[in-house]
Amino acid sequence: MARTKIVVTGGAGYIGSHAVVELYEAGYQPIIIDDFSNSQESVLDGIKDILGVAVPCYRIDCGDEAALRGVFDQEADIRGIIHFAAFKAVGESVQQPLKYYQNNVGSLITLLKVMPDYGVANLVFSSSCTVYGIPDQLPVTEQTPTKPATSPYGNTKKICEDILNDVASVSNGAIRTILLRYFNPIGAHESARIGELPLGVPNNLVPFITQTAAGIREKLTIYGDTYDTPDGTNIRDYVHVVDLAKAHVVAVQRLLDAKGEAVETFNVGTGRGNSVLEVVQAFERATGQKLNYTIGPPRTGDVPAIYADVTKATQELGFKTTATLDEALASSWKWQQSLGK
């Protein structure tokens, strides 16, 4: 029996590669689209090692309409798309806003122009808790008002959500979307064959931690310790990337089963908040590695605290995370060790 084809844009990226593995293991046929502007081709080898088969991959930019149509022409009977492809560094987006608007918003618009011509109705969109801005109350639910974004990156996610809602309102069912607003992915596949692979200096906390522990970085800088939080450092909801990948598989199946409304939104997190200092302490506890860290000034665009209410995902998707913070950090360290220096 033929596997159901699901296109994964950005499928060689951090979350995308884990989603590709989970899709295949759940019986789907993932098709990767990636321009490798923020990923490495070695990821494809890691996916192949885990699955025992090579996953089809097209090296194109999702903003290139002709190239995108070429993929759809070649791959018949695509049933759905998971759209990860986007630039994602908050700090960089503040410095280079046009780069982020052109890529993140433009690629979605191109995708939405192409999908109806090939009868592809189902889209899982990689959104973000950044759409909540600095929330008035915690934890945030899907009904928590979105706010003006604190960075151009966050604003691209908000704009893309607005676009998807606008398109759904006039598509008469031709486009159905699940928006997954997720929190802070960490960790790596248990095989240590795929994981977070930042190019250059990491923008996220955990790879900076693991590179510091490995001696690649001299020290870890914690950006700010005067926030209105118990220990003064930022609080985030850290979700294991494999759990997050599994949420995308559940969302794809919900779309294929034509359940729910034309556009549905789900938070994907653990429902718990941990501070940066707590993550540092958990890493040291889980790995036995002591970290050299210092306190620096707060970064522009950083939100003091945010974590998810995951009731809706639990009740309607039947989805729950299972990995602990310590387990996720231990897998990140195992991945870092597999890379060497």
d(CA 77, CA 93): 36
d(CA 6, CA 80): 5
Q: Which member of 153, 182, 238, 307 is catalytic?
A: 153
Q: How many CB atoms lie within 10 A of CB 297?
A: 10
What residues contact residue 116 under an 8 Å CB cut-off, 6+ apart? 171, 174, 175
CB 83 within 8 A of CB 33: no
d(CA 197, CA 204): 11
Is residue 58 annotated as part of the catalytic site, yes or no? no
Using CA atoms, how far residue 292 sits from 198, 208, 210, 222, 341, in Å, is 20, 11, 11, 11, 17
DSSP 207: H
d(CA 325, CA 287): 12
What residues contact residue 166 under an 8 Å CB cut-off, 6+ apart? none
Annotated catalytic sites, by residue? 153
